[in-house]
Amino acid sequence: MKSSFKKRLREALKGILNEIEIKFLPSGFQQIGTIVILNLKNQLWNRKDVIAEAVQNIVSNCDAVCLNKGAIYSQFRTPQIELVIGESTETIHKEHGTLYKLDVSKIMFAKGNINERKRYPKLVKNEIIFDFFSGVGYFCLNIARLANPKRIYAFEMNPIAYHYLVENIKINKVSDKIKPILGDCKTEALKIKEKADRIIMGLLPSPKDALPTAFQVINPKKSIIHYEGLLNDSDPPEKLLEDVSIIGKEFNKKTKLEHVEFIKSYRPHVNHVCLDILVN
Ligand X SMILES: C[S@@+](CC[C@H](N)C(=O)[O-])C[C@H]1O[C@@H](n2cnc3c(N)ncnc32)[C@H](O)[C@@H]1O
Q: How far is the CB of 275 from ligand X (least distance, A)?
A: 14
- Of 153, 155, 164, 227, which lies in the binding site for ligand X, with binding defined by CB under 6 A? 155
Position 76 contacts ligand X (CB under 6 A): yes
* Interactions with ligand X, residue window 118-137 (CB under 6 A): 133, 135
Helix ranges restricted to H, 25-109: 48-58
Tell me which stretch binds ligand X (CB under 6 A): 61-69, 84-92, 153-161, 169-177.
153-161
Taking residue 124's Cβ as centre, other Cβ atoms within 10 Å add up to: 20
Sign, CA torsion 180/183/186/188: negative
* CB-nearer residue toward ligand X: 84 or 185: 185
C-alpha–C-alpha distance, residues 92 and 168, integer Å: 9
- Of 3, 75, 234, 252, which lies in the binding site for ligand X, with binding defined by CB under 6 A? 75
C-alpha–C-alpha distance, residues 78 and 70, integer Å: 10
- Of 6, 48, 77, 145, which lies in the binding site for ligand X, with binding defined by CB under 6 A? 77
CB 109 within 8 A of CB 117: no
Q: How far is the CB of 133 from ligand X (least distance, A)?
A: 3
Coil, helix or strand at residue 250: helix
C-alpha–C-alpha distance, residues 27 and 20, integer Å: 15
Tell me which stretch binds ligand X (CB under 6 A): 11-19, 22-30, 123-131, 150-158.
150-158
Position 186 contacts ligand X (CB under 6 A): yes
Distances (CA, A) of 224 to 58, 133, 189, 232: 45, 16, 16, 24
Residue 247 CA, chain-centre distance (Å), reads: 26
Q: How far is the CB of 77 from ligand X (least distance, A)?
A: 4
- Of 35, 67, 128, 161, which lies in the binding site for ligand X, with binding defined by CB under 6 A? 161
Position 4 contacts ligand X (CB under 6 A): no
- Of 184, 235, 261, 276, which lies in the binding site for ligand X, with binding defined by CB under 6 A? 184
Q: How far is the CB of 144 from ligand X (least distance, A)?
A: 16
- Of 104, 203, 217, 240, which lies in the binding site for ligand X, with binding defined by CB under 6 A? 203
Q: Which residues bind ligand X (CB under 6 A)?
A: 75-77, 108, 110, 113, 116, 133, 135, 138, 155-158, 161, 184-186, 202-203
